A and B are shown apart, each in its own frame.
Chain A
């Protein structure tokens, strides 16, 4: 995974979530996507799949936990640690 990929990740991830999952509802890096109900379990699967394809990584199901996917910022942090 290249560094510039990560720099754009937050923007691209937000864009994908806004178009495909929240249908236009705005999402900020710190928006709680889960407590607000913006993202359901299928939404989580789509985000995971998108990140795997986009970053060419494999995400272990054990890593798919609330702590890593509550906000866009946390997802980017997780990707950075990978």
Chain B
């Protein structure tokens, strides 16, 4: 096995062993029922990697992590890489059709399971590790894993795939984003620099591992030797419990979608907590209304706040540090690019917008994905190849986001070129929601609409002559759509307006609702 040379990291799987070498007894991970130091974390990662190899995982194999967030799944995200494989975190609440599609396309070599997910993976022949309900297939328990001798990280190239994150596509078929060791490591390094991360930081991990925001803690924390404090998914439903955890663990950084921060402000009893250790709050994934951001910043006056931008395909690559609470009602800028990144704005006419103006944002960056798994046609659509000197090619990523650059050079988000929306920070393609609604027995047409209501932003309008009970529709679509894409409200109508081409007119359909529509 190759030695890990400090300062010469080229693999993501070098991060945990590196931290263990520098500070073996320093705090690395706070889970719900255990605390691990860097040395123990590295041993646990090495043991699970050895267990993964024993069930057949070799270089390039996919390892699905299909379990709620815990210290075990944190270990598993690193162990998959350590074994030479590719980590694939999957939402433990994903519905059967999504799991079937992932099983078919990714063909994993091993699956990490919990009691709540065991038996739900569509292909029972894949070896499992973790908690299980039956022992019919090849299965290792956590106790079995403890019996393995820890192994070192497999030799890979920086350009090899490291992890895959799936988002729902417009047809319902998931889009699986492939990041390499290099793209993720560069992200971790740039993030550590941008937010001045230190070994004594305690970073709250709020996002689930299948959501790309979690790479901030997963990789930047071990890079600098900081500790990660896991915020379990269940706890997020109780903002007062979250704020209690922040105080108890003296958390110093936080990164989440604005929705969770708004809940923390409204129901987190912040005035009763001592959050002086919290030095930096990052938010991203959707727009933070200035009024609510102002109120939140007043309740955590010591912390700095930053708006973070970057689709999962290219990682975070833009930031805006707020000097203080926003004064007006204008939206918070997504800011400027960090290092190793170039931005370009392209107008309707396809011409570059050199200074101020609006257009689609294109990015080329060291933190960009390798491509989508098994989807060359999508790669072709999102990557633009630009000829460079010497016959070389520069590859730009088309974000699909319409932005505006202002006179001061700062950029603000304006909207989308397609029908993708963000619901509580999660990407949702409205076409996929409509396809699911249309598939319900008795539905003749549908329109999915994003409305101006923070409590219930996603509304499905359904045309039906046979369904009278709306819960029939709710139940049916819950079986098909990922939890984040299920409409908060379903409205039944006798008929939906159509355009001259015969398609459902979603703009007119929205007028059937009594609330303002987000564009």
Which A residues form the contact surface with B (CB < 8 A)?
19, 23-25, 34-37, 39-45, 60-66, 69
Assess whether B455 is interfacial by the CB under 8 Å rule. yes
The B interface is mostly helix, strand or loop, or mixed, namely helix
Assess whether B267 is interfacial by the CB under 8 Å rule. yes
The stretch of B181-189, B196-204, B231-239 in contact with A is B231-239
Q: Do residues A66 and B241 form an inter-chain contact, with CB atoms below 8 A?
A: yes
The stretch of B326-334, B368-376, B471-479 in contact with A is B471-479
Chain B residues near A37 (CB-CB < 8 A): 93, 483
Question: Considering the chains assembled together, what is the distance between the CA atoms of A45 and B488 in angstroms?
Answer: 14
Q: Do residues B240 and A41 form an inter-chain contact, with CB atoms below 8 A?
A: no
Question: Considering the chains assembled together, what is the distance between the CA atoms of A23 and B486 in angstroms?
Answer: 13
Assess whether B269 is interfacial by the CB under 8 Å rule. yes
Chain A residues near B238 (CB-CB < 8 A): 44, 64-66, 69
The closest CB in chain B to the CB of A39 belongs to B237
Which B residues form the contact surface with A (CB < 8 A)?
68, 93, 116, 234-241, 244, 263, 266-269, 272, 455-456, 471, 474-475, 478, 483, 488
Q: Do residues B269 and A62 form an inter-chain contact, with CB atoms below 8 A?
A: yes
Which residue of A24, A40, A61, A69 is within 8 Å of B475 (Cβ)? A24
Chain A residues near B241 (CB-CB < 8 A): 65-66
Measured CB to CB, the closest approach of chain A to B462, in angstroms, equals 15
Which residue of B93, B236, B237, B239 is within 8 Å of A61 (Cβ)? B239
Chain B residues near A44 (CB-CB < 8 A): 237-238
Question: Considering the chains assembled together, what is the distance between the CA atoms of A35 and B67 in angstroms?
Answer: 11
Chain A residues near B455 (CB-CB < 8 A): 42, 45
Known: A24-B475, A41-B237, A62-B240. A35 touches B116 (CB 8 A): yes
Known contacts A25-B475, A64-B267, A65-B241, then 13 further A-B pairs from the complex at CB < 8 Å, ordered by chain A residue:
A23-B471, A24-B471, A37-B93, A41-B236, A42-B456, A61-B240, A61-B266, A61-B267, A61-B269, A62-B269, A64-B238, A64-B240, A66-B241
The closest CB in chain B to the CB of A60 belongs to B269
